[in-house]
Structure 1
Amino acid sequence: MTSKVIVITGVSRGLGRVMTDGFIRLGHRVLGCGRSEVAIHELNNLHGPDSCFEVLDVTNDEAVRDWAKHCLSLAGSPDLLINNAALVNRNAPLWKVPASEFSMVVDVNIKGVANVIRHFVPAMIAKRSGVIVNLSSGWGRSTDAEVAPYCATKWAIEGLTKALAQELPQGMAATPLNPGIINTDMLRSTFGSQARDYPNAERWAKTAVPWLLGLGPKDNGLSLTVGEPH
């Protein structure tokens, strides 16, 4: 398999971390970002210098712009861009979610995705190639109590991505992707002890990483779920 350049946000932990490890294990080059200085330092020590990781808050558009310029200068246009970074609100009825918490979920889950697209996708369009994967959720296609802010953002990601797909040239793809239900810190924050009933991130990655590598122009605009035929 030809080595690919893969950009991933939110690599500090959870799905971002296991995807990073999985892609690199298969010989691909990963450029990633996350908010944890400790985790980013660890990733650079473990996987550098071919892959590169930076401390970054995706809600900061200027910082994302500078990171994108650095990534593009290092490796060129990405073959696969994965917007993974996301937050979930603490379980609560919508009227009890503080305004500051609601804003942070929206800023990371929607504006952060738009910031990354704004600064990476023009280079991909110039090459007329590459796949953009925006992580959605089962709660981007259904709803549940006490996670209304998160549901709102993931429903937004579905619409944003499908609209983006209509704007891309032939040869490219954008897809909103439901990763499935995985036992991560985020799931434990909403499901509590019931999260143990679901596969962990490492097990998920064994299916997800090769599956993601198989995405292409034929998948443009489709709402997909990891593991399903495409």
Structure 2
Amino acid sequence: MAIVTGAARGIGLAIARRAVESGATVAIWDMDAKAGAEAAAALGRASAHALDLTDGSAIAAAHAATLAAHGRIDILVNNAGITGGNAPSWELPIAEWRRVIEVNLVAPYMVARAVVPTMIAASYGRVVNIASIAGKEGNPNASHYSASKAGLIGFTKSLGKELAKSGVLANCITPAAAATDIFKQMTEQQIAWMRSKIPMDRFVEVEEIAAMACWLASEDCSFSTGAVFDISGGRAVY
């Protein structure tokens, strides 16, 4: 059974679909109640839970509702995120900088804090955090996004080591950009710059990210934890 945050569309929906196709049941955690419900209905074997992932009480309620609906939690995919627009660091609004950190870094921590003890009690679990190549390299005009994803990478490494003997594994993925709705938050110049940095000269497909995420969420992934998995078309292969 898998929780996938931000699964109403884009990368999260692709991961949820791949998980269902692989035999899992899925709980969609997304702030868009309508889109989440539509995605769950289309997927089948899925439930939808509308919440603000930066709200601890809402996370606790969704956790309880997910357990009531599915009886167990084996997989957590922290996918939900925002870009927060583009500008030089000294021109970004402080409130927007903080909002990106809250959604992209604090929220995955809060969700993991709620869900991981359930996995520890079962002596099994897989946590997959969707970071970004920006967290490795630092994209100009996106310091808030880059910092949030670098933090998510660091959190994954710490969590993986903390859980190493528990039966629960935690890893993260660092994709290059995918052409999803998140592009609507970015300038055309920023999008063109990101593509120019990818040796394969294309954006990653959401299905490619989903394939990697679902392997990391599977029993076949048994000796990797606290690790960072590149899927950047050759941009940053470390």
Q: TM-score, normalised by structure 2?
A: 0.84
Q: What is the RMSD computed on CA atoms of the aligned residues?
A: 2.3
Q: For structure 1, which segment, 32-41 or 123-132, has the greater mean C-alpha deviation from structure 2 after superposition? A: 32-41
2:225 to 215, 220, 223: 220
User: Which residue pairs with 2:91 in the alignment?
Assistant: 96
Q: In the alignment, residue 208 of structure 2 is paired with which amino acid?
A: W
Q: How far apart are the structure 2 equivalents of 1:191 and 1:197?
A: 17
Q: For structure 1, which segment, 103-112 or 207-216, has the greater mean C-alpha deviation from structure 2 after superposition? A: 207-216
Q: In the alignment, residue 58 of structure 2 is paired with which amino acid?
A: A
Question: How far did residue 87 of structure 1 move?
Answer: 0.8
**What are the equivalent positions in structure 2 for 1:1-230 lying under 5 Å apart?**
5-48=1-44, 50-168=45-163, 169-187=165-183, 189-190=185-186, 192=188, 194=192, 197-201=202-206, 203-204=207-208, 207-208=211-212, 210-214=214-218, 216-226=221-231
Secondary structure at the counterpart of residue 137 of structure 2: coil
Q: In the alignment, residue 229 of structure 2 is paired with which amino acid?
A: L
Gaps of 5+ in 1: none
Whether the 8 Å CA contact 2:30–2:51 is kept in 1: the answer is yes
Residues 1:144 and 1:206: Cα distance change in structure 2 (over 3 Å)? closer
Question: How far did residue 89 of structure 1 move?
Answer: 1.8
Question: How far did residue 95 of structure 1 move?
Answer: 1.2
Question: How far did residue 208 of structure 1 move?
Answer: 3.3
Q: In the alignment, residue 94 of structure 1 is paired with which amino acid?
A: S
Secondary structure at the counterpart of residue 131 of structure 1: strand
Residues 1:154 and 1:206: Cα distance change in structure 2 (over 3 Å)? closer
Gaps of 5+ in 2: 196-200, 234-238
Q: Percent identity?
A: 27
Q: How far apart are the structure 1 equivalents of 2:210 and 2:88?
A: 36
Q: In the alignment, residue 9 of structure 2 is paired with which amino acid?
A: R
Question: How far did residue 76 of structure 1 move?
Answer: 3.3
Whether the 8 Å CA contact 2:2–2:75 is kept in 1: the answer is yes
Q: How far apart are the structure 2 equivalents of 1:15 and 1:206?
A: 7
Whether the 8 Å CA contact 1:7–1:82 is kept in 2: the answer is yes
Whether the 8 Å CA contact 2:30–2:36 is kept in 1: the answer is yes
Matched length: 222
Question: How far did residue 107 of structure 1 move?
Answer: 0.9
In the TM superposition, what whole-angstrom CA distance separates every residue of 1:123-147 from its partner, at most 9, and x where no partner exists?
Answer: 1011111111111110111112100
Secondary structure at the counterpart of residue 22 of structure 1: helix
Q: In the alignment, residue 7 of structure 1 is paired with which amino acid?
A: I
Runs of 4+ in 1 over 6 A off after TM superposition: none
Q: How far apart are the structure 1 equivalents of 2:115 and 2:140?
A: 35
Q: In the alignment, residue 94 of structure 2 is paired with which amino acid?
A: A
Whether the 8 Å CA contact 2:156–2:227 is kept in 1: the answer is no
Q: How far apart are the structure 2 equivalents of 1:79 and 1:35?
A: 22
